[in-house]
Amino acid sequence: MELDGIEGVPSMDVMDEEDKTLQRHCQFPSISKPRINNNDNPTTTSVHELLECPVCTNSMYPPIHQCPNGHTLCSSCKTRVDNRCPTCRQELGDIRCLALEKIAESLKLACKFCTFGCPEILPYYSKLKHESACYFRPYTCPYAGSDCPVDGDIPFLVSHLRDDHKVDMHSGCTFNHRYVKANPCEVENATWMLTVFHCFGQYFCLHFEAFQLGMAPVYMAFLRFMGDETDARNYSYSLEVGGNGRKLIWEGNPRSIRDNHKKVRDSHDGLIIQRNMALFFSGGERKELKLRITGRIWKEQNKQ
């Protein structure tokens, strides 16, 4: 669905040799590594290479399996290789490499998101769980018009939205937007637009979407915070739409962009306007959608 007209009026208000330390590596190397076989010398093989599955190249966690010749692989890949060692083709059986599991237990490594600011040094077996919810893990692009694969930190995503998606950028904590659609009967789960606001030193994404709720076409506006969920709770926002002497008001906390826009939309966490009501607000002969949505963002005074 394309927009026929928009008016935006914002108000300004690890180790290659054993004598090198583990701490030099922030994450497992992503480059291809030599596979372990009978000719490999364990004294010259890095710990990370020993713990890398030769099939999927991911880090291995208990149970770590090995063949009679000592070649290892992870439990997930054991079922994928028809119980045959991918290196020597010997039958795998159910032999565990307890020595390698013990070595891994003694390791402490930096979070792979250290380059994004994470200071944590973690036991090997705790690292994966930490990284799945690390505060410093990159964010995915919040653009709603497509499933954009780009991720990064907030400053990078702001530039990406502006330069690659040509998103409108505004400064200020209040806004006044007019959405116009010549044929409001065309509602095909379409996203209309995304606008980014900068206030309180933070960035917020204002979404306006049209989709089917059951059999009924609806319009929905909601705000997302470009940051973590814990920080999003420090802010609140309100949205208001009306006309012909009537109005609807929504107030709540913005959702973090950790939640994608479809998740927010499907939870109905925002200002929802039924089409009949939207046409009533638009006035005229109810053949053209003309919605003016105003709103503001504020920081909760009892939050730091």
Candidates 38, 71, 74, 45; CA nearest to 57 is 74
The domain tally of the chain equals 2
Confidence at 183, pLDDT banded by 50, 70, 90:
low
Q: How many whole angstroms from its chain centre is CA 260?
A: 7
Pick the more confident residue, 27 or 251. 251
Residues 163 and 241 in one domain: yes
Same domain, 55 and 171: no
Of 274, 230, 233, which Cα lies nearest the Cα of 252?
Answer: 233
Angle at 164 between CA 158 and CA 169, to 5 degrees: 45
**Comparing 11-20, 87-96, 104-113, 204-213, which segment has the lowest mean pLDDT?**
11-20
Instruction: Note whether 150 and 96 are same-domain residues.
Output: no
For 226-273, how does the pLDDT look when each residue is reduced to its tens digit (9 = 90+)?
999 999 999 999 999 988 888 999 999 999 999 988 899 889 999 999
| Residue 270 domain boundaries | 139-299
Rounded Cα distance, 257 and 228, in Å: 7
Q: Is 304 within a domain? A: no
Provide the whole-model pTM: 0.70
Amino acid making up residue 165: H
* Domain identity same for 152 and 292: yes
What sign does the dihedral 24-30-31-35 (CA atoms) show?
positive
Domain boundary among 84, 116, 132: 132
Residues 154 and 265 in one domain: yes
Closest CA to 56 of 79, 37, 39: 79
Q: What is the reported pLDDT for 103?
A: 87
β strands within the chain, DSSP E: 5-8, 65-66, 72-73, 95-96, 108-110, 121-123, 139-140, 151-152, 168-171, 174-181, 190-199, 202-213, 216-225, 235-243, 246-252, 255-256, 271-274, 289-299
Q: CA-CA distances (angstroms) from residue 244 to 218, 238, 271, 272? A: 19, 20, 18, 18
240 falls within a domain: yes
Last residue of a domain, one of 88, 109, 132: 132
The answer to whether residues 244 and 152 belong to one domain is: yes
Last residue of a domain, one of 72, 107, 132: 132
Residues in CB range of 225: below 8 A, 6 or more apart:
202, 203, 204, 205, 231, 232, 235, 254, 255, 256, 257
**Segment 196-235, tens digit of pLDDT:** 999 999 999 999 888 877 777 888 999 999 999 999 999 9
Which percentage of the chain shows pLDDT scores above 90?
44
| Tokens found for residue 88 | 């020597």
